[in-house]
A and B are shown apart, each in its own frame.
Chain A
């Protein structure tokens, strides 16, 4: 059954059809929420809430990109959570155990197929990116997360953010400029091949 048929069936109350869409998009939705919120537990709640909300609002989906429509719900939910967090700040992306001990590789990033060096590099990169994202304004952060981290094209990102294409391009450019500046400050923490200065890669 293709996506459109699944959406139609779900609109008619077929929960199994909707859950097949959930399985298709839950990875994307969770990763967007995680990058926007920087906290796995909050991202988990936001993702679940987004799917519940999507099911209830499914009748309002009038076609177009289901992915963009779903991500609009995810990002709106994440914005709400961010506003709540600003009222009572919490810690950033968890790289610690419950006892507060730092861990090199969070379980949610673990990849059984990767070697230890690669895992360490990924963790370092993920930590640097998240730290830079956390320091960015919401509208810039979401643009760079949707387009560069999650690979949406401009049109899909504009649809998900309900903003004109030009606004999305402009925000993305500014966000990239901020990211390149921020990532340079992590140069010593990243493996040589991940550093931004071309000279540094020749070390």
Chain B
């Protein structure tokens, strides 16, 4: 039968059993033990419990736990270095990705003009058109100078024809360049590479920490 003993009394009984109760409290407790059978029974149960716990069988070790040189450090050393390297790579790649993304953000907002960069020129058609026109005029002038015998009407017709062909060719060239640039936008490739590097290195470092 379990009798209700409050936690303070359990603490006193436990300390009493271990000889850890100071003289005054011990005398007081012994006086109570003489008059309170429930407290005395609790002390007996506690004492038997402690005795049983002290007699709890000790297991034999299943094997020796001595360390090999590898366990003591060599393996841990290179794993630790690898883990550190992966973490650094992941952190640097993440930082660079943030910088590139911020650059992208500002360039789309118009704060930075990236049209001079390779691949981004195609996104701005106006300069190509202007260049075509200037080139056509130049060609027309050269044509007029080289063939002075031709009359004005023929020269004008030829210049107009040349201009049309040139514009068409330049326009086609610009379209091709635009398609290639969109497919191989170096900024996009850089962002993808940085993002993948950060993710893979971070994941590898995390797995390494988990498994060791």
Residues of A at under 8 Å CB distance from B?
A: 15, 18-19, 22-23, 26-27, 29-31, 34-35, 40, 44, 47-48, 51-52, 55-56, 108-111, 122-123, 125-126, 129, 144, 148-149, 151, 154, 169-170, 172-174, 176-177, 179-181, 183-184, 194-198
Contacts and interface: CB of A to CB of B under 8 A. Distances in A.
Contact of A30 (B44, B57, B59): B59
Contact of A26 (B20, B45, B65): B65
Interface stretch (B66-74, B123-131, B201-209): B66-74
Interface of B: 2, 5, 7, 10-11, 13-15, 18, 20, 41, 44-46, 48-50, 52-67, 69, 71-73, 76
Grouping DSSP codes into helix (H, G, I), strand (E, B) and loop, the B interface class, with mixed when no group exceeds half, is helix
Contacts of B44: 198
A126 B56 contact: yes
Contacts of A196: 45, 48-49, 52
A27 B57 CA distance: 12
B53 A129 contact: yes
Residue with the greatest number of chain A CB neighbours at <10 A, chosen from B18, B52, B55 = B52
B104 to A, nearest CB: 40
Grouping DSSP codes into helix (H, G, I), strand (E, B) and loop, the A interface class, with mixed when no group exceeds half, is helix
Contacts of A176: 10, 14, 46, 49-50
Contacts of B18: 154
B65 A173 contact: no
Contact of B63 (A35, A44, A55, A123): A44
A73 B101 CA distance: 45
A169 B67 contact: no
A3 B14 CA distance: 33
A40 B159 CA distance: 95
Given A48-B65, A144-B53, A110 B13 contact: no
Contact of A180 (B46, B54, B64): B46
B67 A173 contact: no
A51 B67 contact: yes
A38 B85 CA distance: 38
B59 to A, nearest CB: 5
Identify the 8 closest CB pairs spanning chains A and B, nearest first: A173-B14, A148-B53, A180-B49, A19-B66, A173-B11, A177-B10, A122-B57, A26-B65
A70 B20 CA distance: 26
Contacts of B55: 125
A176 B48 CA distance: 10
